[in-house]
Amino acid sequence: MRFQTELVPARLIKRYKRFLADCTLDDGREVTAHCANPGSMMGLAEPGTKIWLEPNDDPKKKLKHGWRLVDHENGHFTGVDTAIPNRVLKDALTAQSIPFLADYATVRPEVKYGENSRIDFLLSQDGLPDAYVEVKSVTLSRHAGVAEFPDSVTARGAKHLEELARMVAGGHRAVMLYFVQRTDCASVTLAGDLDPNYKAAFEAAQAAGVEVLAVGADITTDKITVADSLLFSL
């Protein structure tokens, strides 16, 4: 997935009200950017952090910049927009380029299922059980090389795991897919200390037959694409 417009560098002044970020552009102008991330963004929102913004000239948008990347200034990036993983993964699933899911030719996003829920992707193929794929964006890393989910309490995430377990009980395939929007991590685990209930829901879902996949991301200031599979371990 390529960014629609060329990203511009900035320095973070502060993030507030979850979805707003005041930033200083290289020319000294201060702007307020939309931050499409409802999580805590632990370790990513310190004042002075180098970030990349996507400008827009859409008259329907009040804010003319969107915060897309954190630049760790060591060659690595983290993508902070939680809407991007589904866009990236839709392309990859449609191209049948993700291992373990490559046999499915039909990809349907945002399909209603369970109790007032929507699955990120419903995959289907003649001769195979339908595959319900739930996607989570992973951006937290508190230990070098290791990504963690979640970065804050997520009751909604626990509900999604319970829904996936019900799909397995109904004879379907259910997959929890963690998309790591960082280029500096080789493995993924759960931040059980931040949300013990999510970890408990995960363990119950896995015991019920829910599959777990983790994939990395190739990130530049031009685009974000799916990279190799990553090791998931508790």
3-state secondary structure of 141: strand
Q: What is the pLDDT of residue 60?
A: 87
Q: Is residue 65 located within the same domain as residue 134? A: no
Q: Residue 140 belongs to a domain with what CATH number?
A: 3.40.1350.60
Q: What is the DSSP letter of 5?
A: S
The tokens for 228 are: 């190799």
pTM > 0.75 = yes
* Phi, psi angles (nearest 5°) of residue 206: -65, -40
pLDDT at 114: 82
Q: Are residues 17 and 98 in the same domain?
A: no
Residue 111 bridge partners (DSSP):
119
Which pLDDT score, from 0 to 100, does residue 115 have?
A: 81
Query: 208 and 118, same structural domain?
Result: yes
- Burial of 163-199, coded b for 16+ CB within 10 Å and e otherwise, reads bbbbbbeeebbbbbbbbbbbbbbebbbbbbebbeebb
Q: Same structural domain for residues 104 and 26?
A: no
Task: Please list the pLDDT of the chain residue by residue as tens digits (234 residues).
Answer: 999 999 999 999 999 999 999 999 999 999 999 999 999 999 999 999 999 999 999 888 899 999 999 999 999 999 999 999 999 999 999 999 998 999 999 999 999 998 888 999 999 999 999 999 999 999 999 999 999 999 999 999 999 999 999 999 999 999 999 999 999 999 999 999 999 999 999 999 999 999 999 999 999 999 999 999 999 998
The per-residue DSSP string of 157-217 comes to HHHHHHHHHHHHHTT-EEEEEEEE-BSS-SEEEE-TTT-HHHHHHHHHHHHTT-EEEEEEE
Domains contained in the chain, number:
2
Same domain, 127 and 182: yes
Same domain, 126 and 210: yes
User: Residue 107 and residue 71: Cα distance in Å, rounded?
Assistant: 32
3 located within any domain: no
Give residue 20's domain range.
8-79
pLDDT of residue 78: 98
- pLDDT for position 58: 87
Residues 88 and 43 in one domain: no
Residue 203 lies in a domain: yes
Assess contact for 217 and 179: CB atoms under 8 A: yes
Report the alpha-carbon distance of residue 96 to residue 61 in Å, rounded: 34
**Same domain flag for 121 and 211:** yes
Between CA 120 and CA 57 the distance in angstroms is 29
One domain, residues 40 and 121: no
What is the DSSP secondary-structure string of 60-103? T-S-SEEEEEEE-SSS-EEE--TTHHHHHHHHHHHTT-STTSTT
Task: Examine the fold and report which residue of 79, 114, 135 is the final residue of a domain before the chain moves on.
Answer: 79
Identify whether residues 129 and 197 lie together within a single domain: yes
The CATH number of the domain holding residue 52 is 2.40.50.580
According to DSSP, residue 223 is labeled B
Residues 124 and 171 in one domain: yes
Rounded CA-CA distance 141/44 in Å is 10
Note whether 22 and 116 are same-domain residues: no
Residue 2 within a domain: no
Predicted local confidence at residue 127, as pLDDT: 97
